[in-house]
Amino acid sequence: MTTSRRLADRKVGKFERNITKRGSVPETSVKKGKEYPVGPLLLGFFVFVVIGSSLFQIIRTATGGGMA
């Protein structure tokens, strides 16, 4: 079965329009970078856990209980 000339021309035209549109992204879909992927509460909790555990480890090592 062969493709009709009109259908082939329509597909080629659609393909070529897509080629010329590549790289032109509308400004509304571009992220501005002001929002964080995590919330401030979760970020604060993460910092608290990391800094708290490192301080706990430093105190534990300084008091001599680091060897176990």
Which pLDDT score is estimated for 25? 63
Instruction: Name the residue among 27, 46, 26, 28 with its Cα closest to residue 36.
Output: 46
More confident residue, 38 or 58: 58
Which pLDDT score is estimated for 45? 95
Per-residue pLDDT tens over the stretch 12-54: 888 888 777 776 666 665 556 667 788 889 999 999 999 999 9
Per-residue confidence at 1, pLDDT binned at 50, 70, 90?
low
Residues whose CB is less than 8 angstroms from the CB of residue 46 and which lie 6 or more positions away in sequence, other chains included: 38
Q: Are 59 and 53 in contact (CB under 8 A)?
A: no
